[in-house]
A = this chain, B = another copy of it.
């Protein structure tokens, strides 16, 4: 690339912000961190230490990260010459709206403005901006330096060129952006997750399985399946040579009947107490950081295995 290094301003040093910082540094971008916490440099240093081992293959040496990293606690100065701005503050609509109004005034007109929100659309977020056309949602999954998907969400006011730039930016950072064809509350993946959680809570409440057994059931069957092929391809193959057409013609009406049997559990105090007690039983003997390390090690291993398998398929 003859292009000058891009300056990416990352706002916020929570879990998502820290993951983005590590990832962008790994891909050789100049990262400017905007946080009002005086201990931000220390938080970022520890975050990088925890995460750098799970960056994708081929990313840069963590030894070089210091030279790419800077801190600017003043928002206006932090975005004044940024090429890309990535917002990761808490899910508070008024907080985000006020922030984007200030960014809109202080950032270069051609800057790409991204929000990691999991909740709000660009139209929700940009109401106080003079020009919200460069604001795009890029919703990552925790941890964003490991999980490839970024859901890209545009609003009515969003410029199509900004969407294309967002896609290119996340690809440059080794991610897999998927552009939603229209905005919907909670976007796609979290809605699917919510549907599965609802039935999971139902099965716990009904005493069919415990929290730990439910987790094992998922990792040992549908989790493995969905890491390798999506739900529709799984059903397509479930139909044999006849594919999804065959599968739907055999099960079509039964599917709707099955949906009617799904649970509608209340999230009442008793349910919450049961879930917490069973989670304590299941995970209470391991620390947060040990569990996070194990998760990231496994996810990185799976991603590498899938990459190798894709290479084999190409070669075959």
Contacts and interface: CB of A to CB of B under 8 A. Distances in A.
Interface string A227-261: 11111110111101101110010001101101101
Given A213-B178, A301-B309, A197 B255 contact: yes
Interface string A153-170: 000000000000000000
Interface stretch (A35-43, A72-80, A109-117, A290-298): A290-298
A305 interface: yes
A70 interface: no
B279 A297 contact: no
A93 to B, nearest CB: 13
A35 B186 CA distance: 50
A221 to B, nearest CB: 4
From A197, A231, A248, A308, residue with most partner B Cβ within 10 Å: A231
A59 interface: no
Contacts of A207: 181-182
A194 to B, nearest CB: 5
A256 B262 contact: no
B149 A217 contact: yes
B291 A301 contact: no
A85 to B, nearest CB: 23
Interface in A172-216: 176, 178, 180-182, 184-186, 188-189, 191-200, 202-203, 206-216
A219 B228 contact: yes
Given A233-B291, A255-B197, A221 B276 contact: no
B226 A222 contact: yes
A52 interface: no
Given A141-B221, A182-B208, A267-B256, A229 B295 contact: yes
Contact of A223 (B142, B217, B223, B258): B223
A5 interface: no
Interface in A255-276: 255-256, 258-259, 261-262, 264, 266-267, 272, 275-276
B228 A275 contact: no
A9 to B, nearest CB: 24
A282 interface: yes
23 contacts: A149-B217, A184-B208, A185-B261, A186-B261, A188-B203, A188-B214, A189-B217, A191-B199, A191-B258, A192-B218, A219-B230, A223-B223, A226-B226, A227-B228, A228-B298, A233-B291, A245-B276, A253-B267, A294-B309, A298-B305, A298-B309, A298-B310, A302-B302
Across the A-B interface, give the 4 residue pairs with the lowest CB-CB distance, nearest first: A215-B230, A223-B226, A227-B227, A305-B305
Given A228-B299, A237-B288, 11 more contacts: A141-B225, A184-B208, A189-B217, A192-B222, A194-B259, A214-B231, A232-B279, A243-B288, A248-B267, A248-B275, A255-B267
